[in-house]
């Protein structure tokens, strides 16, 4: 499929259902050629909703005084991992706000303990921006992957979404540091975030095609209560799945999650993403009494089909659309060459 800039813009804006169906079919064909009809499960553990940052879109931003704050202990995190391993998960994703309580010493200790108890499992961290030496220590402790959404590849748009003490240049440097340290790196952005334009989306796609992160997480922007953007319009599910398909074609070996934001916006959001080329799902392993507290946007799903306890149901739903759910880590496939 032709992926010139003009054709990408056409695919993002066309109302021709045949063109969109062909896009999805080609994205699935490319995914299946690289990974087969496999969807990889990761167990999400939301370890803290404390955050030093004040991002304008985020429900757990520093200035939101209505949030009931929590952080998990090492014992709670390990309990979540035990539950996940019993459910067949081989990757654990430790996600949280930028919480200074989770020092390098503490996070490294947790990572080492997870690796000791579950040596066949991968650890993904998503703990925001840190310094090079911090990332190095986390890697040396055994962390395999790091998710850090770039949020936008446009510096002006970045400054619209974030407070003045956060830097587009620093975010990009963090991603480069992670790559240089040997992490499998995840980037990504919100679809329909305030101030986003077709031009900024094209910059995001160009960044992904150039940087080639091992993972790309995108989902529709959903307003969060008690934030400056709480009355903004939510992003589009349709635009999100089109972008998933385009990202799959631009970067065939990428690991693409069907995000919880899609499941929040549409009851078949996960399935729609898979049928557009996605191949990762991340059910929630966090303690049930904290899931609703990690309220990064309104009405975030934390139970039902989004919960790790529903792993069997998730597998059935994926099998129903012709996908397999293997019991493995689901590492990125290094594509030395790719011929479509």
Question: What is the per-residue pLDDT for 1?
Answer: 82
Taking the C-alpha atoms of residue 100 and residue 94, their distance in angstroms, rounded to an integer, is 15
The answer to whether 247 and 256 are in contact (CB under 8 A) is yes
Query: pLDDT tens across 49-65, in order?
Result: 999 999 999 999 999 99
Q: Look up residue 99 and give its two tokens.
A: 């919480």
Taking the C-alpha atoms of residue 227 and residue 164, their distance in angstroms, rounded to an integer, is 16
Question: What is the per-residue pLDDT for 244?
Answer: 98
The answer to whether 261 and 219 are in contact (CB under 8 A) is yes
184, pLDDT greater than 70: yes
7, pLDDT greater than 50: yes
Q: Which of 271, 246, 267 is nearest to 258 (CA)?
A: 271
Query: pLDDT tens across 248-306, in order?
Result: 999 999 999 999 889 889 989 999 999 999 999 999 999 988 988 888 876 665 554 55
Taking the C-alpha atoms of residue 48 and residue 166, their distance in angstroms, rounded to an integer, is 20
Q: Look up residue 165 and give its two tokens.
A: 């003490």
Question: What is the per-residue pLDDT for 91?
Answer: 97
Question: What is the per-residue pLDDT for 308?
Answer: 62
Percent of the chain at pLDDT > 90 equals 86
Q: Please report the DSSP string for 73-109 in residue order.
A: -HHHHHHHHHHHHHTT--EEEEEE---TTS-HHHHHH
Query: pLDDT tens across 310-330, in order?
Result: 778 889 999 999 999 998 999
Q: Which of 125, 235, 239, 227 is nearest to 183 (CA)?
A: 125
Question: What is the per-residue pLDDT for 335?
Answer: 45
Of the pLDDT bands very low, low, confident and very high (cuts 50, 70, 90), residue 231 is very high
**If you average pLDDT over residues 207-212, what whole number do you get?**
98
Question: What is the per-residue pLDDT for 282?
Answer: 92
Q: Which of 44, 79, 84 is nearest to 309 (CA)?
A: 84
Environment class of 32 (CB within 10 Å of its CB; exposed 0-12, middle 13-18, buried 19+): middle
- Tell whether the torsion through CA atoms of 217, 175, 211 and 59 is positive or negative: positive
Question: What is the per-residue pLDDT for 43?
Answer: 94
Question: What is the per-residue pLDDT for 296?
Answer: 82
Q: Which of 267, 241, 248, 270 is nearest to 258 (CA)?
A: 270
């Amino acid at each position: 499929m032709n992926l010139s800039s003009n054709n990408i813009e056409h695919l993002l804006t066309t109302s021709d259902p045949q063109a969109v169906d062909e896009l999805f079919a080609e994205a699935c064909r490319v995914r299946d050629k690289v990974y087969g009809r496999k969807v990889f499960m990761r167990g999400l553990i939301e370890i803290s909703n404390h955050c030093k940052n004040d991002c304008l879109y985020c429900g757990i931003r520093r200035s939101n005084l209505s949030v009931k704050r929590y952080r998990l202990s090492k014992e709670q995190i390990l309990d979540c991992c035990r539950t996940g391993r019993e459910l067949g998960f081989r990757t654990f994703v430790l996600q949280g706000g930028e919480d200074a309580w989770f020092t390098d010493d503490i996070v490294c200790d947790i990572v080492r303990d997870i690796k000791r108890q579950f040596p066949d499992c991968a650890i993904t961290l998503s703990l925001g921006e840190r310094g090079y030496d911090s990332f190095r220590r986390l890697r040396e402790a055994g962390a395999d992957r790091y998710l850090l959404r770039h949020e936008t590849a446009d510096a002006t748009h970045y400054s619209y979404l974030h407070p003045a003490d956060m830097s587009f240049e620093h975010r990009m440097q963090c991603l480069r540091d992670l790559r240089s340290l040997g992490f499998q790196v995840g980037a990504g952005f919100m679809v329909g975030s305030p101030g986003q334009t077709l031009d900024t989306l094209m910059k995001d796609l160009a960044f992904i095609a150039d940087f080639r992160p091992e993972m790309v997480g995108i989902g529709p922007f959903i307003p969060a209560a008690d934030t400056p953007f709480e009355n903004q319009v939510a992003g589009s599910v349709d635009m999100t799945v089109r972008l998933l398909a385009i990202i799959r074609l631009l970067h065939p070996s990428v690991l693409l999650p069907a995000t919880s934001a899609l499941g929040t916006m549409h009851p078949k959001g996960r399935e729609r993403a898979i049928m557009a080329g996605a191949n990762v799902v991340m059910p929630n392993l966090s303690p049930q009494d904290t899931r609703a507290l990690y309220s990064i946007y309104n009405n975030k799903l934390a139970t039902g089909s989004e919960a790790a306890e529903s792993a069997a149901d998730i597998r059935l739903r994926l099998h129903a659309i012709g996908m397999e759910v293997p019991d493995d880590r689901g590492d990125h496939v290094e594509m030395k060459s790719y011929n479509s």
